[in-house]
Structure 1
Amino acid sequence: MVKSLPKRAQVNEKETWNLQNLFADEEAYNKAIQAVQDEAASLETTYKGTITDAASAISALDVYRKLQENIIPIASYAELAVSVDLTNDEAQMRESRFSSLAAKINSQTAFVMSELSELSEEILQQASELSEEYSVLLKKIIRLKPHQLHPEVEKSLAALSSTFQAPYSLYNTTKLADIAFPNFTVDGKSYPLSYVSFEGAWESEPDTAKRRAAFQTFSNKLKEYQHTTAKTYDMHVQTEKTLADLRGYDSVLDYLLMEQDAERTMYDRQIDVIMEDLAPHMRRYAKLLQKIYKLDEMTFADLKVPVDPLFEPSITIEESKKYMDDALGIMGEDYLDMVNRAYSERWIDFAQNEGKSTGAFCASPYGSGSFILISWTGSMEDVFVLAHELGHAGHFYHANHAQNIFNSESSLYFIEAPSTMNEMLMANHLLKSSDDPKFKRWVLSSIVSRTYYHNFVTHLLEAAFQRTVYEHVDAGGNVNATLLNDMKRKVLEQFWGDSITLNGGAELTWMRQPHYYMGLYPYTYSAGLTISTEVAKRILNEGKPAVEEWLQVLRAGGSKTPKELAKMAGIDITTEKPLRDTIAYIGSLIDQIEQLTAEIESQ
């Protein structure tokens, strides 16, 4: 039963994460802030204007690296506290103060990258040979040299960093603090509605009347904020366009892809092939759901229903631990120890409360354990989501131990591979646990409706929409609510065709995702899952040798390019084959669901 959300102060502390893993108290946090201010001032006084050769470059980077290591836990402490309760004024003010401080420090220390960029490629190569731990960073500096601006301009841009982040902060404030959803009514009975309850329960509610009423009430409230949200998004994309132009890129897309070390062909392939080749499979899946639920009309509001709600177990937080142990045990003792620590040391924020960020994420501050946000509703979807986020935690657990701070984070193109890998391992574990046709159909449908729908449909349609927006902005345009709604509607129509009817409000789904404020993030979910699908097959067939190769990939962090990381795992992403093989695999899953449904219905 969906209930109204409590205040943050009312939730069980055991279901919250422990930020004391970062700082014992506010006094320790404030001391750390003062320390990094002193470090930044010392760095500027000592090294500004002195980085002229390989030796001075390495010396400055040693100090700069230490500063970055000390800033990260401060940033995490401020940002994580807000993410679980945006209505907390104290937490909001703390984050705002840190944002201003970070902008000041960024401006103070911008000279480091500017002076390194002004060195010749020969000197940068010498520095790389002098200290191998900085070789990846120095190669990146060489790659970005053509787009580096005058040092004073870079300093000014760094000083404006908090201003550049303002649209995202405004988006979150509107979404999590200002929008209050009313109850909806079905057959005279009133039901509570919130972001968490809609996305975690009502969106997949088996009762059609309740599901559609929740969707309509949810959409009607979103619509009231469409103009504010659209203006916020326009400010963000116009900022990106300005920065792309200033740095001499041909387009915003080129600017954002450069940061990922990914090529435009890789980006376009992911969107174009899925839009064309996956669509027929998902339309077939939609028709199957319509048949199972005996719906006269299949609408957008019906796409998230489970194939068999009777096989939807209610899972407690404690029970979820056994699922993780059983499914992820193949990754080895060290990995499983990390998973157990996530539970015992309160890395995970399970609570549902007012003002909490929607969805789920994993933050892994360098030098610390991870922090996983999820709003636990007790569904199998939560189990898959938690496995996903623990995949991020496992990735950074290994990378942070093996790499320095500059090499620890892999390209955004690859970032979702370790997380979706855990979803595949969970699915494979469940498939092996029973031969019962209904159970097998439930597991297969969970893989399609959760893992693949989320990463290959929801986020991919975001990516197709996002590309349309950037192409419009690159042509000199601005966006507003009417235009964004039209763009989103056309993407949905292209993918789903006549297999569904688009309810009024389907076009507003662009308002629900924060990923549009994170660069070209949406398409990377399908890119990562393409890699993890192929690697999961290897692990299933080869066992321990494939697992060890995958762990080596995790340890590599950001020391390799996306292509190199995939190659280490035995996958060639320079071709379409892995993507087309993954789409064919999704089609085969739907084939099996159809066959099992026919078998079950004939009994």
Structure 2
Amino acid sequence: MAEEKLLSRAEVPENLKWNLALLYQSDADMKADFEQTTKLVDQFAEFQGTLATTAANLAKALILSKQIDEELEKEFVYAFLRRDSDTTDATATELYGMISSQMSSISAKMAFFEPEIVEMDDTTIDGFFAAEPKLAEFKFMLTKIRNEKAHVLSNLEEQLLSRASKALNAPDEIYNTLNDADLTFGTVHDDDGNEVQLTHGNRSQFTESQNREVRKEAVLAYEKPYNELRNTFAQTLNSYMGMHNMTADVRHYSSARQASLSSNQIDEQVYDTLVSSVNQHLDLAHRWYALKKKVLGLDKFYKYDINVPIAGNDLLKTTFDEGKQLTREALSVLGPKYMEGLNREFYNRWIDAAENKGKRSGGYQISVYKANPFILLNWTDKLYSTYVLAHESGHAMHSYFSQAAQPSEYFEAPIFLAEVASTFNENILTNYLLEKYQDDKQIKIFILEQYINGFIGTIYRQSQFAEFEHNAYQTQEKVGTLTADYLDQMSGDLVDKYYGPSVTPTGTKTQSWAYVPHFYMNYYVYQYATSMAASTALSAQVWNKEDGALQRYYDFLSAGGSDYPVETLKRAGVDTTNSDYLEQAFKVFEQRLDEIETLLA
């Protein structure tokens, strides 16, 4: 699907674009709905100061708030997807800017809600639950709010923070605009010597080339603009982390990390246990790099050599249609209910597949309770893209099942759970491919390497990012400024530690931190690693058809955010409060390493 010349949005075939008519037929229709929603917000504001008067009043306010949230989600996501389709489209950017700006005002008008809930005494709230059956649905939501009592501010303070939210979130917007719309990597040479534009989406085609000069040129070209703008990226990250440190302090948290984990009652020890456990198993990753260096016969194994496949390029090259079929075949083990949802996703244009000029890089899934999930991809005809499709489809089906089972306030699972559903699908896809090609040694090596790269990228790499992120937050809090020199040094030291003695550094250190958009998601990355470890156990149970495993997994998907994530995972069969689940994951990884070593011998 990748073209030598990047397509404009208008040149992308309709069947490779998501169908935003599933949300609105036009921008005008969205704006008209948004105008009506703002009127509902004004109605909600009339409840200020009255929530504790009667149980019926509280129920009415909650039901109206729920309606507003459902409408705002639909309107915001439409504008968000319009913008991400082409960040160079001025109309789409203006539309997104309009609704983002208005969201700050809306948040300020509704900011009285949590302080009033927190101020209610236990006797009053218990009496309301007994008197008004309609409140039963909202009990967990209200409990979560009241558990955060020490961190909810006064009504006026909450209003001020809400009004300031757009300005406070500006570093995130600036980073995404810079990274997706303004950053250019120039041209590089492909395997045939042709000059080709390098992009976020097609980078892997060059970095996995068997021609060492091709991958070296691409890696250095990709690093160059990040290094040239290193001070800008450092200031953007400093501003973002400074904002979260400030907000955590204002809300009386001990740190930005505690603030991020607290709302879902995730103990900070979960984070520290992950980093500690991964550091204890760095030898397995180092063993892989040493093996690869030996098999490739390289005197020096540079970072730009890491991604070249041992078995050869594109042994399982797949078009978008072929990738969908492969994903369907693999996930059929989850039964007809899952396949019904997956077919809806594949055949109703929930996916935006092709890369185009100005399109947001990477991949993600975002859901709308009153519509359906949407997936952004930047497809290349490599097996990696099929893995991304399976990953994002895991998110989409998680939303699909929770949407059917939960009211809107609980249908969205917290990230700690959401990444379990996505990496679960990656594990199932690996199991399926290894079984499908069990008699083909070269393809099996190719698949095992894909798994190993995925495991290292998800557990080791994200733990490396988690170490970097936490250290950066702590330094920003103590010193007040994160400089490019400091970030380069810290990131470089972590790269050396995680990659080990067999890998020789090359290029610049800036790209190893500046290109990571997830640093603008506030303690997000560690959850990739914890989730991959948890999903390794769950997927093995389902793949091996253990009694009750599939039903437990369906229950997990259907739970959404209706309970604290640690408890939801316990019911599914994984306890993240200790390191056992991590040890199980490393055991599987070691078995895969043993297997590929045997095949390569």
Query: Which secondary structure does the structure 2 equivalent of 1:414 belong to?
Result: helix
Q: Which residue of 1 aligns with 2:197?
A: 192
Out of 373, 388, 403, the position equivalent to 1:370 is 373
Distance 1:222 1:488 in 2: 14
Residue in structure 2 matched with residue 560 of structure 1 by the alignment: 563
Partner of 1:175: 179
Counterpart position of 2:221: 217
How far 1:425 moved relative to its partner? 1.0
CA distance in 1, matches of 2:433, 2:488: 39
Tell me what 2:232 maps to: 228
Query: What residue number does 1:601 align with?
Result: none
Q: TM-score, normalised by structure 1?
A: 0.95
> How many residues end up aligned between the 2 structures?
594
- What amino acid is the match of 1:499? S
CA offsets per residue over residues 516-551 of structure 1, 9 Å max, x none?
A: 111111000011111110011111222573111100
Per-residue CA deviations over 1:281-321 (Å, capped at 9, x if unaligned) read: 11111122212222221112222222212562221111122
Aligned to 2:6: 5
- The Cα shift of 1:15 comes to 0.6
Unaligned runs of 5+ in 2: none
Query: What is the deviation of 1:386?
Result: 0.3
User: Partner of 2:307: helix, strand, or coil?
Assistant: coil
Is 1:312 the equivalent of 2:324?
no
**SS of alignment partner, residue 482 of structure 2:** coil
- More off after superposition, 97-106 vs 566-575: 566-575
- Counterpart residue type for residue 370 of structure 1: P
TM-score by length of 2: 0.96
2:29 maps to 1:28: yes
Change (3 A) 1:245 1:596: same
Counterpart of 1:207 in structure 2 is 211
Percent sequence identity over aligned pairs: 27
Q: Give 1:243's aligned residue.
A: 247
Q: Does 1:340 align with 2:308?
A: no
**What are the within-5 Å matches in structure 2 for residues 438-587 of structure 1?**
438-450=442-454, 452-543=455-546, 545-587=548-590
Question: Which residue is 2:48 aligned to?
Answer: 48
Deviations 1:430-473 (A, max 9, x none): 111132222222221111113x1221133222111101111212
1:422 aligns to 2:405 (yes or no): no
In structure 2, do the counterparts of structure 1 residues 311 and 224 end up closer, same or farther at CA, with 3 Å as the change threshold? closer
Q: Higher mean Cα deviation, 16-25 or 159-168?
A: 159-168
Post-superposition offset of 1:352? 1.1
- Please list the CA deviations of residues 83-130 of structure 1 after superposition, one character each: whole Å capped at 9, or x if unmatched: 121111111100100011111111111112221121123333444554
For the 8 Å contact 1:121–1:142, the answer to whether it is kept is no
CA distance in 1, matches of 2:348, 2:358: 24
Greater mean alpha carbon deviation, residues 3-12 or residues 499-508: 499-508
Partners of 1:81 and 1:292 in 2: CA distance:
46
CA deviation after TM superposition for structure 1 residue 418, in Å: 0.4
**Structure 2 residue aligned with 1:39:** 40
Q: Which amino acid aligns with 2:185?
A: F
Unaligned runs of 5+ in 1: 599-603
Deviation per CA, 1:535-580: give whole Å up to 9, x if none.
Answer: 1111122257311110001111111222211111111222111101
1:61 paired residue number: 62
* Partner of residue 333, structure 2: 330
Give the secondary-structure state (helix, strand or coil) at the position aligned to 1:51: coil
Distance 1:513 1:121, change over 3 A: farther
Q: Which amino acid aligns with 1:229?
A: F
Contact 1:421-1:533 within 8 A present in 2 as well:
yes
Q: Distance in 2 between matches of 1:126 and 1:439?
A: 64
Contact 2:207 2:214 in 1 (8 A): no
Q: Between 403-412 and 545-554, report the one with greater CA deviation.
A: 403-412
Tell whether 2:261 aligns with 1:257. yes
2:579 is matched by which residue type in structure 1? E
The answer as to whether partners of 2:355 and 2:379 remain within 8 angstroms in 1 is: yes
